Structure 1
Amino acid sequence: MATMAATNVRDVGPKDVQACNNTSTRIDLANIADVPYYVEKRYVRAVDNGEEFQYEEVPIEEFYDDDKEDTLDALIRNVKDQQRESQVITTSTSATVPRGTLTTQPEAVDDFVRNFLVRMGMKKTMQQFQIEWHNLSSSGRIKTNECGYLPDVVKHNEELSEKMKLLESEVDRYRKSAEKAREEFVKMKKERDYHRQHHNRIAQEKNNLVTFVKR
């Protein structure tokens, strides 16, 4: 394979050769166009691997088939398609995943007794109840699965009692706030009466002074 630099090629004569030989070795790059020079051929030898390479043109992939794809309508259409696909995926996923169900089981009698003792702070009674219950259940005199459960009415009454306690605490808090506001009102009323009396006294003294000056 042969390569040859072909830039700034011109005919070189004997006079130019002699002038080039007589010039100094330093060449001013600013006036490089006025300096004569030669063009020499150079040959580049390829590495002989015993194989011949075939060069093919690499196609450049086009990101868009047409310039019209860059329009606003095309972008809106693509966004709508993506939203539709996401909705389809969501509906299919929700249809395949089963929903869990929550079931409430009635409270057992022994659990009710334990919760009552804990709520009332009866620790010693709770400990004694645990010991006796364990002894009876281990000996087989009491079967835990046959003790039964509390009726729903008892649980409902407990919930109502808890709500009543919560409402009573809120009423007590509102009562305290109202009492505090009433005390503040009484205090402000006393201050108002004091300032009113002071103003009336000053006005009376002013009238007396005006009357005295007029005399």
Structure 2
Amino acid sequence: VTITDDSEDDCQYEEVAADDEFSIQEGDEDLPKALQTIQEHAEDAQILASQSVLLSEKSVSEVPEAVDDFLCNFLVRLGMSRTLDCFQTEWYELIQRGVLSAKDTGLVPSVYTRNQELEMENMHLKKDLENYKLAANKAKEALLKMQKERDFHRMHHKRVVQEKSRLICDIKRLKTHYASYEPVLKHLTEKYQTTLRQKMLTNLERDRAVGQITGLQAALQNLESG
């Protein structure tokens, strides 16, 4: 960036004597008041210094850029180092030969500088946009993966629920089926008890008949022997 001497023409400077601002009035023997006066002058000087720095920074930023600086910055930004070397060599050679006039080596209009700033801002915004797109694509892929996993677990849960329902139906059917056997089992149990009692009665009658037969045989033998 080139700063011309014309930028300082509008500024007028006046010499200020140090004794006028920081001198203590004669006859003033109040020490605290004197210290307060010195502190106030120091604060005023600090404020003026900060304002002058801000004004100088503003004036420097508003100074247009030289043509060669503008082109050099443009080539540096594009990474064209060999073109930059050729340009600088030929540029200063033409200046030494007097081919380029002061008009050719003047300042770049502010509109070009502003366009360059806007172009740089546009490039940064495009980079940010690409980064946001990449982040959005990654988030989209992660979302699709999570949706697939959700669908898989949902289908698995649905199969488990269906299997559970089927098992419950089978259990109910088996309970109903086994419940139908209870009357049959009860009837068979009663029949078994009846048969068992009949068997016991039959055994008693058989034993009684055997006893009678034995008595008759004994009586018959007695009759035959007598």
TM-score band by shorter chain is: 0.5 to 0.7
The offset of 1:172, in angstroms, is: 1.3
Which residue does the alignment assign to 1:116? 74
Equivalent pairs, count = 134
Unaligned runs of 5+ residues in structure 1 are 1-80
The offset of 1:144, in angstroms, is: 5.4
Separation (CA, whole Å) in 1 of partners of 2:99 and 2:153: 83
Task: Tell me the amino acid that sits aligned with residue 143 of structure 2.
Answer: F
When residues 95 and 177 of structure 1 are mapped into structure 2, their CA distance, relative to the original with a 3 A threshold, is closer
1:140-184 deviation line (CA, Å, top 9, x unaligned): 333558622111110111111111111111111111111111111
Task: Tell me the amino acid that sits aligned with residue 45 of structure 2.
Answer: T
Equivalent in 46, 53, 65 of residue 107 of structure 1: 65
When residues 87 and 203 of structure 1 are mapped into structure 2, their CA distance, relative to the original with a 3 A threshold, is farther
Equivalent in 28, 40, 45 of residue 93 of structure 1: 45
**Higher RCO, 1 vs 2 (CA within 8 Å, ≥6 residues apart):** 2
Task: Tell me the amino acid that sits aligned with residue 94 of structure 1.
Answer: Q
The SS at the match of 1:171 is helix
Task: Tell me the amino acid that sits aligned with residue 152 of structure 2.
Answer: Y
Which residue does the alignment assign to 1:137? 95
CA root-mean-square deviation: 2.9
Separation (CA, whole Å) in 1 of partners of 2:48 and 2:127: 47
Equivalent in 150, 168, 179 of residue 192 of structure 1: 150
Which residue does the alignment assign to 1:165? 123
More helix by share: 2
When residues 177 and 113 of structure 1 are mapped into structure 2, their CA distance, relative to the original with a 3 A threshold, is same
1:110-151 deviation line (CA, Å, top 9, x unaligned): 222222222223333222222222222223333558622111
Separation (CA, whole Å) in 2 of partners of 1:111 and 1:89: 43
Dislocated runs of 4+, deviation >6 Å: 84-87
Under a length normalisation based on structure 1, what TM-score does the superposition of the two structures give?
0.53
Separation (CA, whole Å) in 2 of partners of 1:130 and 1:88: 53
Separation (CA, whole Å) in 2 of partners of 1:92 and 1:195: 74
Task: Tell me the amino acid that sits aligned with residue 128 of structure 1.
Answer: C
The SS at the match of 1:149 is coil
Equivalent in 106, 114, 128 of residue 156 of structure 1: 114
When residues 115 and 93 of structure 1 are mapped into structure 2, their CA distance, relative to the original with a 3 A threshold, is closer
1:1-37 deviation line (CA, Å, top 9, x unaligned): xxxxxxxxxxxxxxxxxxxxxxxxxxxxxxxxxxxxx
